[in-house]
Amino acid sequence: MTTLRAWLQDPSPTSRRQARLGQAWLAWLRIQRNRLAMAGLIIVVLLLLIAAFAPWIAPHDPFVQNLGNRLKPPGTPGYLLGTDDFGRDILTRIIYGSRITLYIIALVAVTAPVLGLLIGTVAGYFGGWIDAVLMRLTDIFLAFPRLILALALVAVLGPGIENAVLAIALTAWPPYARVARAETLTIRNSDYIAAIRLQGATAPRIILGHVVPMCLPSVVIRVTLDMAGVILIAAGLGFLGLGVQPPQPEWGLMISSGRKFLFEQWWVATMPGLAIFIVSLGFNLLGDGLRDVLDPKSAPK
């Protein structure tokens, strides 16, 4: 183990891979020092593990109905978090619901930031009319409240999880474009950009190889902080019946169907609500901690 550590902390790496892993190791050491960020990381990792091992850890089947068991309170033997109005175990449904949550997050995370990053860096690098056109486009999308726009898109495209994800992604990219453009404007006048231009590099090479890597930290941090919002919008769409359809155990959908019983059988809506809260909190804490780690200014000189 110590030889691996030594290899990672070698001041003169002998390959690109070693250099990259060494930097990642140092970043890991840095994030470890931030307790809250570690808490956030643990929550996110737990989410991943629960989603991955759902069939093995869930005590029951998420879809099988058992009307004799309806609305049992938490603590009932065999039903840790109680049952819903169809007699299904809430804990099981939350566990399986984590897969849906993760699916939505992952899809949005690979589409919206990528789109926003490309638009923002191109706008920032070229300036002029390209910048104006792209930024007006961004402004148009930004002007709509996210949930309303997502609603409109889902209404046009029809309900279903893929359409919900598409709707969320299409409304989520503008802030990334803004952030990426702001970073690009700062970076564009740097000496290292001037140097690579002087070497005859073309714009695509400069944008993809030199500008984007510098924008990544801000965008990554933004993504983690946005995750909470994405989960909530997906839950909102589910709540309105426009995203995932029953009997899928999506957390927002569970809250929606539990609304009717909120006062007497509070656990039906509250348990999935707590799950959303914890996961959102986890992403927020992680995002805050990542800011310290990824901020290039805090890198030692």
Partner 1 sequence: MTLLDVQNLRVTFDTETGPVEAVRGVSFSLGRERLGIVGESGSGKTMTGRAVLRLIRPPGRIEAEQMIFDGQDLMGASEKEMRALRGKRIGMVMQDPKYSLNPVMTVGDQLTEGLRRRDGLGRRDAEAKALAALDAVQIRDPQRVMEAYPHELSGGMGQRVMIAMMLIPEPDLLIADEPTSALDVTVQAEVLSILDTLVRDRGMGLIFISHDLRLVARFCDRVLVMYKGRVVEELKAQNLLDAQHPYTRGLLNCLPRIGGPRGPLPALDRSGAWAE
Partner 2 sequence: MTLIEIDALSVTFRAQGREVRAVQDVSLTVNQGESFGLVGESGSGKSTILRAICGMAPVTAGTIRIDGKPLPTPRGPGFATRVQMVFQDPYASLHPRHTIDRTLSEPLAIHGLGDSDARVVKALTDVGLPANFRFRYPHQLSGGQRQRVAIARALMLEPTILLLDEPTSALDASVQAEVLNLLSRLRDERGLTFLMVSHDLAVIDHMCDRVLVMQNGRAVEQMSRETLAQARMTTPYARSLFEASADRMLGGTPG
Q: Does 33 bind partner 1 (CB under 8 A)?
A: yes
Q: Residue 211 carries which DSSP code?
A: I
Type of residue at 178: R
Stretch that binds partner 2, among 16-24, 42-50, 56-64, 120-128 (CB under 8 A): 16-24
Helix axes 128-143, 161-187, angle to 10 degrees: 140
Is 203 a binding residue for partner 1 by CB under 8 A? The answer is no
Q: Which residue shows structure tokens 């994800």?
A: 165
Q: Does 298 bind partner 1 (CB under 8 A)?
A: no
Residue 31, helix vs strand vs coil:
helix
Which residue, 59 or 209, is less far from partner 2 as judged by CB?
A: 209
* Contact stretch for partner 2 (CB under 8 A) within 6-14, 46-54, 79-87, 145-153: 6-14
Residue 76 within binding range of partner 1, rule CB under 8 A: no
Please tell me the count of residues contacting partner 2 according to CB under 8 A: 29
Q: Count residues near partner 1 (CB under 8 A).
A: 7
204: contact with partner 2 by CB under 8 A: no
By CB under 8 A, residue 208 contacts partner 2: no
Packing angle, helices 267-294 and 251-258, rounded to 10: 150
Q: Which two structure tokens, joined as six digits, stand for 293?
A: 């780690």
Question: Cα(95)–Cα(91) distance, rounded to whole angstroms?
Answer: 6
Length of the chain: 301
Q: In angstroms, what is the minimal distance from the CB of 6 to partner 1?
A: 12
Q: Which of 128, 129, 136, 199 touches partner 2 by CB under 8 A?
A: 199
The encoded tokens of residue 40 equal 């956030």
Question: Distance between alpha carbon 99 and the CA centroid of its chain, in Å?
Answer: 13
Of 24-32, 42-50, 77-85, 96-104, the window that binds partner 1 (rule: CB under 8 A) is: 24-32
Token pair recorded at residue 247: 């009997």
CA 237/CA 152 separation, integer angstroms: 11
- Residues 6 or more apart whose CB falls under 8 angstroms from that of 182 comprise 120, 124
| The one segment of 23-31, 149-157, 166-174, 213-221 that binds partner 1 by CB under 8 A | 23-31
Question: What residue ranges bind partner 1 (CB under 8 A)?
Answer: 9, 26, 29-30, 32-33, 300
Question: What residue ranges bind partner 2 (CB under 8 A)?
Answer: 11-16, 18-19, 23, 190-192, 194-201, 205, 209-210, 213-214, 296, 299-301
